[in-house]
Amino acid sequence: MKLVSLVASTRPGSVNCALYSKVAHKLESCGHTLEEMPYAQVENLPQYTPVREETSGLPPFIGTLSRSILQADGLVIASPEYNFSIPGPLKNAIDWVSRIKPYVMTGKPVLLMSASGSPVGGWRGLAALRIPLGCLGARVFPWEITAGAVASVEAVEALSKTEAFRDRIDLAISQFG
């Protein structure tokens, strides 16, 4: 499949970037292609308001992102959990994209993942993310990938070497689509 991805962190040493690289590598070795959208551009989007939309229209990057989603077979999103929910810039991008009709995400399968220092991982953030994506018609894949108790890139690296984690990723990827 041709996949578009978003990794919702530009932090140096991001654990979500580290997790995404592991999963992306596996997806590519299974024959999928990935186009990663620059999250710095998501962070730089203006805050969505109806007045801003009416006066300035959609930001150019939203056109780029929406076209890529439309042309892709599916999406991959790696996101930290912020206060048990969706990081603000990511939710803001979803709000902008939702202004394009028909919805560009309709019918697209979405693979979610999250890494966190918390022992339970970022599953609550992913649960929150499922709501707007689902309401925009995306088919959010039930087998999400969560990495808990990983507060550093080294911890993600160590986790990725365990059999249980490799099995989890293999299962998710083999079922995705």
Q: Which residues bind ligand FMN (CB under 6 A)?
A: 9, 11, 14-16, 80-84, 116-118, 122
- Least separation in angstroms between CB 29 and ligand FMN: 23
Cβ-based nearer residue to ligand FMN, 31 or 119: 119
Quote the least distance from Cβ 113 to ligand FMN, whole Å. 11
Q: Which is closer to ligand FMN, CB of 98 or CB of 118? A: 118
**Number of alpha carbons in the 13 Å side-chain half-sphere of residue 13:** 6
Within the chain, what is the greatest distance between any pair of CA atoms? 53
Structure tokens at 107: 């019918």
Could you tell me the smallest distance in angstroms from the CB atom of residue 92 to ligand FMN? 15
Q: Which is nearer to ligand FMN, 52 or 91 (CB)?
A: 91
The residue (of 74 and 80) whose beta carbon lies closer to ligand FMN is: 80
Phi, psi of 79, rounded to the nearest 5 degrees: -145, 135
Angle at CA 70, nearest 5°, toward 82 and 10? Answer: 30
Asked whether the beta carbons of 162 and 120 are under 8 A apart, the reply is no
Angle of helix 123-135 relative to helix 88-97, nearest 10 degrees, comes to 10
Q: Of 157 and 167, which CB lies nearer to ligand FMN in the complex structure?
A: 157
Residue 131 CB, shortest distance to ligand FMN, in Å, is 16
Residue closest to 75 by CA, chosen among 159, 132, 157, 149? 132
**Min dist. Cβ of residue 119 to ligand FMN (A):** 9
